[in-house]
Amino acid sequence: MLLRRRVRAGRGDGPRPGCAADRRAPRPRHRRAHPRRPVGDVAVARQPAAERHPPRGDARRARPGGPAGDPDDRDRASHLGPGGTPSVGRRRPPAGEPRSPGRLRARRAGRDRRRPRGRSAGGSRRRRSPMGAAGRPRGGDLAPRDPNVTMARRSPAAPEDSIGMRVVVALAVEVGIIALAVQGAVTGAVALTALVLAPAGYAFSYVRRARPSIVLKVLLALGLVVATMAFLQTVRSVTTVDAARIPLSGLFLWVQVLHAFDVPRRRDLAFSMTSSTTLIAAAGALALTTSFVWVLGAWAALAAAWLWLSSAPRPEQRAAPLAIRTTATGPRPRLASVRSAAVAGIAALCLGSALFLVMPRLPASLLRTPPFGLGHRTPTPSSTDSVSNPGLPSAGGDGVVDFAALGYPGFSSAMDLRARGALSDQIVFRVRADQPDLWRAEVFDTYDGSVWTASDTRASGLSLDADTQSYEPRYPPMEAPLPPPFSNEIVQTFYVSQAQPNVLFAAARAEKIYFPSSGLQMDRYGSIRSSFLLDEGMVYSVVSQVPVVPTPLLRLLPRPNTDAPSLARYLQLPSELPQRDRNLAARIVGDADSEEEAVVRVQAWIQQHTGYDLSVPREPPGVDAVDHFLFDTRRGFCEHIASAMAVLLRAEGVPTRIVTGYGPGERNPLTG
pTM of the predicted structure, to 2 decimals: 0.61
Q: Alpha carbon 348 to chain centroid distance?
A: 14
Taking a C-beta distance cutoff of 8 angstroms, is the pair 343, 64 a contact? no
Q: What is the dihedral of CA 232, 236, 241, 247, to 10 degrees?
A: -40
What are the counts of helices (DSSP H) followed by strands (DSSP E) for the chain? 16, 18
Predicted pLDDT at 70: 46
Task: Tell me which residue of 172, 177, 219 sits closest to 195, measured CA to CA.
Answer: 177
Rg (CA), the chain: 42
Cα–Cα separations (whole angstroms), residue 346 to 81, 349, 429:
52, 5, 35
Taking a C-beta distance cutoff of 8 angstroms, is the pair 283, 295 a contact? yes
Distance between CA 295 and CA 476 in Å, rounded?
49
470-471/439-444 β-pairing: unpaired
Put residue 158 in one of left, alpha, beta given phi > 0 → left and psi -120 to 50 → alpha.
Answer: beta
Predicted pLDDT at 641: 94
Predicted pLDDT at 550: 85
Question: Half-sphere exposure (CA, 13 Å, Cβ side) for 173?
Answer: 31
Predicted pLDDT at 326: 67
Predicted pLDDT at 239: 65
Predicted pLDDT at 450: 92
Distance between CA 38 and CA 597 in Å, rounded?
81
Taking a C-beta distance cutoff of 8 angstroms, is the pair 259, 220 a contact? yes
CATH number of 571-656: 3.10.620.30
Distance between CA 207 and CA 199 in Å, rounded?
13
Predicted pLDDT at 655: 92
Predicted pLDDT at 666: 81
Distance between CA 316 and CA 479 in Å, rounded?
78
Taking a C-beta distance cutoff of 8 angstroms, is the pair 447, 490 a contact? no
Predicted pLDDT at 375: 62
> Which of the residues in the chain have pLDDT under 70?
1-157, 239-242, 315-321, 324, 326-337, 352-353, 355-371, 374-378, 384, 397, 478-481, 669-672
CATH 3.10.620.30 spans which residues of the chain? Answer: 571-656
